Amino acid sequence: MTRQGVHGGGARLLMTADAAGGIWPYTLDLAAGLAAHGVTPVLALLGPAPQPDQLARAAAIPGVEILPTGLPLDWLAEAPDELRAAGDALAGIARDARVDAVHLNSPAHAAGVAFPVPVVAVSHSCVVTWWDAVRGGPLPPAFAWHADLMRRGCLAAAALVTPSRAFADATARRYALPRRPKIVHNGRRALAAAGAAPAEPSTLFVLTAGRLWDKGKNLQTLDGAAARLGIPVLAAGPVSGPNGDRAEPRNLRLLGRLDEPALAALLAQRPIYASLALYEPFGLAVLEAAQAGCPLVLSDIPTFRELWGGAALYVPPRDEAAAAEAIARLAADPAERARLGAAARRRAGRYTVEAMAGAMLDVYRPLLVAGSVAA
């Protein structure tokens, strides 16, 4: 996508980004994919500051502009006025940066805000659908304003996008939207080198990765399953969250936050990769494992069924005995591990950065000035 006669011939896109979870690799992969089409990504960094290795990767994107803002993430804002002020600040940044469109990675930042250019909002998760999946029951009154701003932001955006059909349906239903959001599956740049040799049985292990502190990841059930297994279960990622939540597993081998090369080295050994998430609108960590050819044991939730089909084993998300049995069965069957790992890798071929960038270009293109954008 190139812009004709505007800003030196290339479209400028303001994208919000945060380093607290999967939004970071999503944003950087998408920014790199768009840059290959002549788009200039302008990244507005929200929330906690990125780690040096994260920031270095962002700076390596051709033509990228990085704008630290100190503005709050939607789910860390303590009051509606704080979130609305953040949206107003982002509108001001869009104006000052002279961008042609805005890509918000939280629709709530668009609620009640007058942006100077069209807004595409991508909903990767939200506190309301998280509550439905993880806690259940009536939404606490303290979350009511989150729900209100989220719905208003969804309706205010010129286009609303989600990373899976299952999450699109949940979002449309929960916020009573007049139409289902557009669906653009996430893509990911593969971390592991192609053709890495499978792990030998003597080194076989189970791996999970992500925001371990998030109760939606359901680490407790995997921890219980680990106590029933005779092979190590490793967990990569932070156990403490910026919201004060903390995971304290007793049976997992905690690795802390790993940079991409360290995680790639683990995945290249093709461990059994387990995610027993209760709530997962997409699941980039699962995609990374699949790209490396790891056999997948996943919770039986609509998102994982949609994305991985027959390329994984599924277990009830809160059943630690079923999870342990599935993992033990795979551990004892090298041929089945190889078959499932190959199936996961093939399926992962659907979820590339190029496919994601192309689909998002199709979303942005009609919103820009008629006749100003050419493929």
Say how many C-beta atoms besides its own lie within 10 A of residue 300's C-beta. Answer: 15
**How long is the chain?**
375
More confident residue, 87 or 375: 87
Cα–Cα distance measured from residue 152 to residue 146, given in angstroms and rounded to the nearest whole number: 10
Cα–Cα distance measured from residue 346 to residue 273, given in angstroms and rounded to the nearest whole number: 16
**pLDDT value at position 170?**
97
Domains delineated in the chain: 2-187+352-374 (3.40.50.2000), 201-348 (3.40.50.2000)
pLDDT digits (tens, 9 = 90+) for 120-173: 999 999 999 999 999 999 999 888 999 999 999 999 999 999 999 999 999 999
pLDDT-above-70 percentage for the chain: 93
pLDDT digits (tens, 9 = 90+) for 12-59: 999 999 987 789 999 999 999 999 999 999 999 998 888 888 888 899
Residue keyed to tokens 């994260």: 54
Cα–Cα distance measured from residue 63 to residue 138, given in angstroms and rounded to the nearest whole number: 46
**pLDDT value at position 54?**
86
In sequence order, the 6+-apart residues with CB closer than 8 A to the CB of 320 are 221, 222, 224, 225, 228
The Cα angle at residue 47 between residues 44 and 51, in degrees rounded to 5: 85
Report the predicted TM-score, pTM, of the whole model to 2 decimal places: 0.91
pLDDT digits (tens, 9 = 90+) for 260-317: 899 999 999 999 999 999 999 999 999 999 999 999 999 999 999 999 999 999 999 9
pLDDT digits (tens, 9 = 90+) for 170-211: 999 999 999 999 999 999 998 854 444 444 445 899 999 999
Single out the residue of 152, 150, 74, 158 nearest to residue 119, CA to CA: 158
The answer to whether the beta carbons of residues 146 and 82 sit under 8 Å apart is no
Single out the residue of 329, 172, 158, 323 nearest to residue 251, CA to CA: 323
CA dihedral 129, 132, 138, 141 (to 10 degrees): -40
The token duo for 328 is 């033990």
